[in-house]
Amino acid sequence: MLKQQRADYLRGRLQELYPETPIPLDHRDPYTLLVAVLLSAQCTDVRVNLVTPALFALADNPNEMMRVSVEQIKAIIRPCGLSPRKSAAISELSKILVEKHGGEVPADFDALEALPGVGHKTASVVMAQSFGVPAFPVDTHIHRLATRWKLTSGKNVVETERDLKKLFPRESWNRLHLQIIFYGREHCSARGCDGKRCLLCRELFCPPTR
C-alpha cells in the first residue's frame, strides 16, 4: 500500500471510529483553552481538567489573571508539573494580552507563538479549536503513530507536521489530529504496539515494535 493510500485509508477509518471530536480539555473560551493547553505540556488532559476549575474560579480572563500572584497560580497548578515555569508564563502572557491585544487572545500564529510558554503546537491547538483555522498540531504521540503507520520518516514533530499536511486534505486537519489522539490513547500507546491487538496497525500490516 502506497503512503497516500495508507493516509486515505486511515482518514476513512478514523472518521468511522470517531465521528465526533470533542476537545479533551475543558474550557470556556480561547483564553481558558490557551491556559489549559499550556498546562497540558508533560501532563495528562485528565489532570489538567482536575486543576483548571480552581484556577479559573480564581481568574478566568487575562485582566483578572494578571492581578493574581505567580505564587498563587503555582500553588494551584502544581499537580500539572513544571509549575514554576508554567505559572510565570500564565501570569506574563495574561499581562501581554491585556497590554498588547486588548485582553483578547489573538487569532494569529505569530502573535500566539510570541507569548511566553506558547510554542507552535499550543498555538496550533488554539487556532484550530478556538478560531477554526486549519492546523495540524503534532505532539510526540502523533509523531510516533505517524511513523508507526509509515506516513512520515520525519525525525521530529516539525517534519512530521509537514508530511501530514501534505497527505491529508486541509479541511480534515483540525478533526483528524483529534481523531489520531483519541485512537492512540485508546488503542495504540506511545510506548509501543504489538501489531496484533491494535486495529489499525493490524489492518495496515505494521510490524510489531515490542
Q: What dotted CATH number matches 3-21+136-203?
A: 1.10.1670.10
- 3-state secondary structure (DSSP) of residue 168: coil
- Cβ contacts of 84 within 8 Å, gap of 6 or more: 74
139 is catalytic: yes
156: cell is 521530529
57-80 tens-digit pLDDT:
999 999 999 999 999 999 999 999
The answer to whether domain 30-131 has CATH 1.10.340.30 is yes
- Cβ contacts of 130 within 8 Å, gap of 6 or more: 29, 30, 33, 34, 105, 107
From-to residues of CATH 1.10.1670.10 in the chain: 3-21+136-203
| Candidates 29, 86, 100, 139; catalytic one | 139
**Position 188, amino acid:** C
- Going through 42-168 in order, the beta strands assigned E by DSSP cover none
Residue 36 φ/ψ, nearest 5 degrees = -65, -40
Alpha carbons 5 and 21: distance in angstroms, whole number:
23
Q: Is the pTM of this model over 0.85?
A: yes
How high is the mean pLDDT of the chain?
93
Model confidence band, residue 194 (pLDDT cutoffs 50, 70, 90):
low
23: cell is 476537545
pLDDT at 35 over 90: yes
Alpha carbons 18 and 176: distance in angstroms, whole number:
9
| Candidates 3, 8, 60, 121; catalytic one | 121
pLDDT of residue 1: 74
Alpha carbons 195 and 116: distance in angstroms, whole number:
40
121 is catalytic: yes
Model confidence band, residue 189 (pLDDT cutoffs 50, 70, 90):
confident
